[in-house]
Amino acid sequence: MAKVIRHKTQRQRRRARIRGRVVGTAKRPRLSVFRSAKHIYAQVINDEKGTTLVSFSDADIKDGPKTERALKMGKELAERAKKKKIKKVVFDRGGYAYHGRVKAVAEGAREGGLEF
């Protein structure tokens, strides 16, 4: 019997499941998070038009451990979103566990004034 190769990782399957439920609209865009080994990236997306409204990463923040940088990044992202008159978003954790840096981004965005 031939061995079946699964190309999608568990995170990709979780991400697809989440994206089936979480959709960003013009009134309530999607706050998407991507976490790499070194940095974390977030963007606010309108899925109806397929456009990124606001984006930010912790690569611009040089001081502190990764979790603190993620918290600062969430606050800065919220400030940039407020400048574009975005107050409410839906949170897309991108298949990652709601823990650590992903949670810090969400908490920073809430502290910055975003609602989700």
CATH number, domain with residue 100: 3.30.420.100
Check residue 9 and give its pLDDT: 83
Is the residue at 13 inside a domain? no
Report the side by side order of strands in the sheet with 51-57. Answer: 51-57, 40-46, 30-35, 90-92
Is the residue at 87 inside a domain? yes
Q: Is 58 left (phi over 0), alpha (psi -120 to 50) or beta?
A: alpha
Check residue 110 and give its pLDDT: 97
User: Which structural domain range is residue 84 located in?
Assistant: 21-112
| Ordered mean pLDDT values, 10 residues apiece, the chain (116 residues) | 70 92 93 96 96 95 94 97 96 95 97 95
Alpha carbon distance 102, 1 (integer Å): 41
Check residue 8 and give its pLDDT: 75
Its pTM surpasses 0.75:
yes
Check residue 95 and give its pLDDT: 93
